[in-house]
């Protein structure tokens, strides 16, 4: 069954469970993800990026066909959507949901850009995820040895980008997003040697109690 993320995550929030959102990298991982969800009788979100496949339109159509014939609810989500052109192309490809990642922008700029896309996406029946705070990466240095601006090195790096509860409430009210990705200590990629994972569950609870839409956790 093909769904947007909104009804899948709204029900998860209401009934107190999480929904897995694996990144599908090829046709085989689409098949495996959906078969596993059916085996567990659980809804699933297929995360797709523009870098996934050279022929992304065909890839998404394959995922849609598998989702339509699935026994469980399946959403197809653009993960970490980039510039405006990429977002519009995704909507034309019939992604059922899109993530608009403007988490590196200042608060007001983030709201402005996301709000604009929410209006378009909702008109087309597509749900929208956005990120406030910033889930950094541990991928590390580039070819010249320079660290990216969002590279996590220390615990202080992480905490500096944590989502603030008051801002999250205002952000959701103003943007009208369907779900919100928050920064609570998870990061993308592998941890550098000596840096142990730590998650602020107390902050997560405060966000869950204050924010009116489902929360999304990125990173591994």
Annotated active-site positions, please? 79
Rounded to 5 degrees, what angle do the CA atoms 200, 201, 202 make? 90
The torsion region of residue 90 among left (phi > 0), alpha (psi -120 to 50) and beta comes to alpha
| Residue among 109, 116, 103 nearest 160 (CA) | 103
Beta bridge mates, 128: 98
Concatenate the DSSP letters of all residues of 26-44 into one string. Answer: SHHHHHHHHHHHHHHT--E
């Amino acid at each position: 069954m093909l769904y947007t993320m909104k009804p899948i995550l709204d029900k998860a929030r209401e009934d107190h469970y999480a929904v897995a959102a694996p990144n599908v990298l090829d046709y085989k991982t689409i098949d495996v993800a959906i078969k596993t969800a059916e085996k567990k009788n659980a809804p699933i979100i297929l995360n797709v990026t523009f870098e996934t496949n050279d022929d992304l339109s065909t890839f998404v159509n394959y995922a849609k066909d598998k989702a339509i014939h699935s026994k469980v609810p399946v959403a197809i989500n653009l993960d970490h959507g980039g510039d405006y052109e990429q977002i519009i192309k995704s909507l034309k490809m019939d992604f059922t949901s899109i993530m608009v990642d403007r988490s590196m922008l200042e608060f007001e700029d983030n709201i402005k850009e996301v709000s604009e896309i929410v209006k378009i996406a909702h008109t087309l029946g597509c749900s929208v995820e956005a990120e406030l705070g910033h889930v950094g990466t541990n991928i590390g240095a580039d070819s010249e040895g320079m660290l990216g601006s969002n590279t996590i090195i220390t615990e202080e790096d992480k905490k500096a980008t944590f989502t603030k509860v008051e801002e999250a409430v205002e952000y959701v009210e103003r943007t009208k997003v369907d779900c919100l990705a928050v920064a609570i200590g998870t990061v993308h990629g592998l941890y550098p040697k000596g840096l142990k994972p730590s998650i602020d569950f107390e902050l997560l609870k405060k966000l869950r109690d204050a924010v009116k839409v489902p929360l999304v956790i990125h990173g591994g």
